[in-house]
Structure 1
Amino acid sequence: MMIKPLVIAVGLTMSVMANAQSSQEVEQLRQEVQQLKALVHQYAQQNQTVQANLNQLANTAVQPPVAQKASTEKRGLGMTLGNAEFNLYGNVRMDGSYQAEGGSSARMYNQINTVPLEGVGERSDEFKSTLSATRLGMDFKAPVGAGDKALSGKIEVDFLGGDKFDNLRIRHAYMSYANWLIGQTWSNFAVPDYLPETVDALAYAGGSIKRTPQVRYTSTFSPATNLVLAVEDPKDATITGIKQRLPALTARLNHKFADNLSVSARAMGNEKRVKEDEEMAWGVGLGAKYEVVPGTTLKADYYHVKGDSSFVTYANKGVVADITDNLYQSEFDSISVGITQQFNDKLRGTLGYGYMSFDQDAGYIDALSADDKTKTNKDLWQAWANVFYSPIKPVSLGLEYVYGERTALEAATNGSNKGEDNRINMVAIYNF
């Protein structure tokens, strides 16, 4: 009889323990469910935040930009003031030259047309240096009127003015709008685009680096062809007593046959007046640039000119007058050719040759004084070779050898009619 109550007690105890264990499991399950609900709620909130951010980005992308005031912050050497953009540039340039034979000690750049004749005051074994070719310039651009049209311009100076090349002078000063240009820049007739590269800042015989005051209009026929017309003030200072009633008229037709071949045909007309007599000067020119293979470029430039000495450098006087004021004109042909090789990003070199030949007009020769006949030339030629090395991007170092001769119309009293130019040129340039 005692066994039955014991069994019942044990059963009750086990039942209570089972119920307690079941309650613990239920409570644990309830806690896990609560944790799961919290995680789901947290995920839902994060999802709503992400979606809100995406919506904000989408709305921002389609909103028009808010107008900002023009910045005056300098970027390198550029600056914006109001709606106008300015860019300051230039270089510091030091030239040196060892002159074995050549011209006046007062100046060091090319003077092939005036080098002394042999035995007539030659200057030899001289070293010269200058910083006169140091340059400073500023480009500017500002929107004008409706649309995307802008007024742009340039001001550029160096220190190659005056007889001794040590005075400030204007190189370029112009403004341009649409197809028009007004001011001083490269002549429309004597462009430097087709000249082989030189260390000498004034280039060599056969080419020209003329800048003139002008009004110019450009008409574009196609992406490859354009016609440029200009009226220019040639300022021919080589002729005594010259007067100018009208500016020179010039025309230039540029055409690009292919990416590696471009040409330029030019023409010029200009009235020359000495006292009340007048003659019409004229000239034609043809230039070409051809990239034979990448890194190898050929350049050539040709001129035929009559009655003018202002456009093409190193020419004889364009017009002379005899004792009865009859006018006679000089006439000449000139050519320069050269090849430039770009060896790598830092090194390039050029071989070049220039030649000028002047017609022997009897009236022109007779109108010259005896002294002028030894200063006036039958022909000029120069040949040069140079290398440019850029160890770092803004620095360029150049070394060049040039040899040339001039032949005068008449010999000096010692019988010599040849003058010699024999130099080594050096240059160091820092561009900014």
Structure 2
Amino acid sequence: MVGASCLMPATALAQEASIEDRLDRLEALVSGLVERLDAQQDIDAQQQADIAATADLVMAETTQMRGEQADLAAQVETVSEEQDRDGFGIGNTRFTLGGYVKLDALSLRTSGGQLPDGSITRDFLIPGAIPVGGEASGWDTDFSARQTRVTFGTSTDVGTGTPLRSHIEIDFMVTPGGDERISNSYEPRLRQAYLTYGDWLLGQTWSTFQNVGALPESMDFIGTTPGTVFDRQPMVRYTNGGLQVAVEQPETVVTTPTGGRLLAGDDTMPDVVVRYNYAGDGVSLTAAGIVRSLNIADDDFGMGDDSALGYGLSLSGRIGIGERDDFRFMGTVGDGLGRYIGLNIVNDAALDLDGNLDPIFTYSGFAAFRHFWDDNLRSTIAGSYFRADNPVMLTGNQVTDESWNAFVNLVYSPVSRLDVGIEYMYAERQLEDGRSGNLQKIQLSTRYAF
């Protein structure tokens, strides 16, 4: 259907040209009939009546065709307006461009140490990076437009009645570039790149284990980070109604015997996700399960090869309250889920003295309530929590035991697609040895979506 709409102007113009040719022929016929009436004065009345009736029929058809021509012209104009608004067509492909421009102005302080200037740990909340054990910092202020995002999409009519679509998305977060001293230039990064055809998706996008639709509105990049499943990666996904099944990129993250972090890179089986989505009566719910094969090889630690089973379950959703308010939530539990939760707060597994993998059990979740004060003003209050059952004898006591955060914001939309918001956030991290550190942040954001 998308391809057909892209071809509509060309088809309509061709039909319009055909009508013009027919009109010219009909008008020539009418002129000939009139000349015959004038020339044949001796023709009987009945013949004149027949000729006149024929002329009337021809003129009626001409008038009808003039109307069809006007309708086609209007149709061409309408389709052109839709293409201007929703993209443009070249051949049988439609192209679209979207995204947003965002400015963040934030000031933060930490109780357990100074976050480095220019570090991504000052751009948004990364729970595992909240300093612990150091001197309290002052309030540090940063301005950034790095979250600005551009999306590019295509939809092609391949002649089967099912369009072939693609989606590419970039922003400038978590990338190197110019410093705050002169240029503030940052390199673009690939966020998403995938194609869809019918029930199939192939490429890089949000993990099927994550429900993006449940995330609350926040000025921070993620918001309820400690309690959130958050991961983008390449995959092959099949969707049938509310059911989704995907095989996704594997990656085992291990805590070494010295307490460090190792990306083993020896994975042989993809992560497998099964998910079901339900929507109805102002409620949308998602249940997802994941199974993982965690792997290391002898060349990682020189202690032989080993594998372990990782798994997890997550329930999330959004529940409408009243006309516009909503409640959002997520709860996740599992063994060996480290890199999927809270931006890898803890690792997937630890290594015991025999060279065997010991998956780390975690549970996490968040809850958020959004209220509309009026058509242009709204607020969200939210909180999230994470806890890990670390095998301390293997990981040591300097790893994260738990983390939580809470925030409240106020967002004003003076015009369509423009949001101005202010938010206060408090976050805390505690180590296995009992020490803790906190982070406070005040953030003002302006975002224009196009």
Partner SS state of residue 393, structure 2: helix
The question of 1:181 aligning with 2:211 is answered: no
After superposition, the CA RMSD in angstroms is: 3.0
Partner SS state of residue 338, structure 2: coil
Structure 1 pair 241–196 and aligned structure 2 pair: CA distance change class (3 A): closer
Residue aligning to 2:409? 386
Superposition map of 1:26-45 within 5 A: none
- Choose the corresponding residue for 1:95, options 91, 101, 104: 104
Structure 1 pair 51–350 and aligned structure 2 pair: CA distance change class (3 A): farther
The question of 1:104 aligning with 2:115 is answered: yes
The question of 1:255 aligning with 2:278 is answered: yes
Larger radius of gyration: 1
Q: What is the CA-CA distance between 1:58 and the residue it aligns to? A: 3.8
Identity of aligned residues (%): 24
Q: What is the CA-CA distance between 1:121 and the residue it aligns to? A: 4.4
Assess if the C-alpha contact under 8 Å between 2:252 and 2:295 holds in 1: no
Residue aligning to 1:325? 355
CA distance in 2 between partners of 1:163 and 1:317 (Å):
25
The one-letter code matched in structure 2 to 1:331 is: F
Structure 1 pair 324–163 and aligned structure 2 pair: CA distance change class (3 A): farther
The question of 1:152 aligning with 2:162 is answered: no
Structure with a larger share of its residues in strand? 1
- Choose the corresponding residue for 1:424, options 431, 438, 442: 442
Q: What is the CA-CA distance between 1:342 and the residue it aligns to? A: 2.1
**Structure 2: unaligned runs, 5 residues or longer:** 1-52, 178-184, 255-260, 298-304
Partner SS state of residue 167, structure 1: coil
Q: What is the CA-CA distance between 1:92 and the residue it aligns to? A: 1.5
Superposition map of 1:21-420 within 5 A: 54-58=60-64, 75-76=84-85, 78-101=87-110, 104-105=115-116, 106-107=119-120, 108=122, 109-117=124-132, 119-146=133-160, 148-162=161-175, 166-203=186-223, 204-220=225-241, 226-236=242-252, 239-242=261-264, 243-256=266-279, 258-275=280-297, 276-314=305-343, 315-360=345-390, 364-369=391-396, 373-374=397-398, 376-411=399-434, 417-420=435-438
**TM-score, normalised relative to structure 1:** 0.77
Assess if the C-alpha contact under 8 Å between 2:339 and 2:346 holds in 1: no
The one-letter code matched in structure 1 to 2:235 is: Q
Q: What is the CA-CA distance between 1:124 and the residue it aligns to? A: 3.0
The one-letter code matched in structure 2 to 1:81 is: I
CA distance in 2 between partners of 1:129 and 1:56 (Å):
67
Q: What is the CA-CA distance between 1:351 and the residue it aligns to? A: 0.5
Q: What is the CA-CA distance between 1:100 and the residue it aligns to? A: 2.6
Q: What is the CA-CA distance between 1:358 and the residue it aligns to? A: 1.6
| CA displacement, residues 321-341 of structure 1 (integer Å, 9 cap, x when unaligned) | 134312212111111101111
CA distance in 1 between partners of 2:373 and 2:107 (Å):
26
Assess if the C-alpha contact under 8 Å between 1:262 and 1:290 holds in 2: yes
Q: What is the CA-CA distance between 1:309 and the residue it aligns to? A: 1.6
CA distance in 2 between partners of 1:338 and 1:347 (Å):
17
The one-letter code matched in structure 2 to 1:423 is: K
Q: What is the CA-CA distance between 1:86 and the residue it aligns to? A: 0.7
Aligned residues: 366
**TM-score, normalised relative to structure 2:** 0.75
